[in-house]
């Protein structure tokens, strides 16, 4: 089965170990969320999984091939990444920023415009069309970037290249959406909207990997939660399996109670 997978992954920078022995598999159609305290290695792990950082040991597999063996353009057709901060200071219009997500594709300007419009509507940003990105609020900018990464994998790519075999194979590839703290700049309504978007994309077969600090938001939308501490995975599993008083006490050093959300049935962490 295709996946985005870390196998016995370790990372050291300047001799300092940041990640040790990480094994993680993100499956198409599922939402996987990484949680843990500051400095646990969550963002470093994400950067390794999307080939922004070269691992010290182990490997990262992307759709059954080592991710480093994919060309950047091929990888970008099926893997989109939203970092914690997206630095952009050029006076692009909102439409132009979101259109950047269509750069890896050759679907034509008309189809690309349709996808850009649909992505902006999905993030409650249709009213921003034509405005300059530099004039937006922080939350609006983050929604524009969310629209950009959604536009990038809005529909399946049908081209898989195998440069080592000098052939191009026409087939669908599994898509992945990687989000680092996607709700941190949002109000309550847009936090909920983002979670709905994540679940909608997962229902269409997209594998979603997120980093989040809010345990209740993570519990609400995740199929799998990965709990990290000091560069290692402490435990992983369903929200019910991971979000226990003992696990939270061990990793966060706080006492909590766990209830059940009256509407979703998911764990509800009460501090």
pTM: 0.93
Residue ranges per structural domain of the chain: 4-74+201-270
* Under 8 Å between Cβ of 184 and 15: no
What percentage of residues in the chain have a pLDDT greater than 90? 86
Q: What is the mean pLDDT of the segment spanning 14-29?
A: 96
Grade residue 164 by pLDDT with cuts at 50, 70 and 90.
Answer: low
Please say if the pLDDT value at position 85 is more than 70.
Answer: yes
Predicted pLDDT of residue 157? 80
pLDDT band, residue 162 (cuts 50/70/90): low
- 187-245 pLDDT tens trace: 999 999 999 999 999 999 999 999 999 999 999 999 999 999 999 999 999 999 999 99
DSSP 188-257: HHHHHHHHHHHHHHHHTT-EEEEE-S-HHHHHHH-SEEEEEETTEEEEEE-HHHH--HHHHHHHH----E
Closest to 196 measured CA to CA, from 221, 178, 218, 176: 221
Beta-sheet strands, E only, within the chain: 4-13, 16-26, 31-35, 57-62, 65-66, 79-82, 159-162, 167-170, 176-180, 207-211, 224-229, 232-237, 257-260, 267-270
| CATH number, domain 4-74+201-270, options 3.40.50.10440, 3.30.870.10, 3.40.50.10490, 3.40.50.300 | 3.40.50.300
What does the alpha-carbon distance between residue 86 and residue 244 come to, in Å, rounded to a whole number?
Answer: 34
**Paired residues of 259 in beta bridges:** 268
Which tens digits make up the pLDDT trace of 87-130?
Answer: 787 889 999 999 999 999 999 999 999 999 999 999 999 999 99
Q: What is the pLDDT of residue 159?
A: 55
Question: Does residue 50 have a pLDDT over 90?
Answer: yes
The pLDDT assigned to 89 comes to: 78
């Amino acid at each position: 089965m295709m996946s985005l997978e870390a196998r016995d992954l370790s990372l050291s920078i300047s001799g300092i170990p940041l990640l040790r022995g990480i094994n993680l598999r993100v499956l198409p159609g599922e939402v996987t969320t990484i949680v843990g305290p500051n400095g646990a290695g969550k963002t470093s792990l994400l950067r390794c999984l999307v080939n922004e950082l070269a691992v010290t040991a182990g490997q990262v597999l992307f759709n059954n091939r080592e991710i480093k063996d994919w060309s950047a353009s091929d990888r970008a057709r099926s893997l989109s990444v939203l970092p914690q901060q997206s630095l952009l200071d050029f006076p692009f219009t909102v439409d132009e920023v979101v259109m950047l997500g269509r750069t890896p594709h050759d679907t034509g300007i008309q189809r690309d415009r349709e996808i850009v419009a649909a992505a902006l509507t999905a993030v409650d940003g249709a009213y921003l069309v034509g405005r300059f990105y530099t004039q937006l609020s922080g939350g609006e900018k983050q929604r524009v970037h969310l629209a950009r990464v959604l536009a990038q994998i809005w529909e399946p790519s049908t081209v898989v290249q195998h440069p080592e075999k000098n052939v191009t194979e026409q087939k669908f590839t599994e898509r992945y959406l990687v989000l680092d703290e996607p709700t941190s700049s949002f109000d309550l309504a847009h936090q909920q909207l983002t979670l709905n978007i994540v679940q909608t994309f997962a229902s269409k077969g997209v594998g979603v990997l997120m980093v989040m600090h809010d345990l209740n938001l993570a519990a609400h939308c995740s199929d799998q939660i990965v709990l990290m501490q000091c560069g290692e995975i402490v435990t992983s599993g369903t929200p019910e399996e991971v979000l226990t008083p003992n696990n939270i006490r061990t990793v966060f050093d706080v006492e909590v109670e766990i209830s059940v959300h009256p509407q979703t049935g998911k764990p509800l962490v009460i501090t």
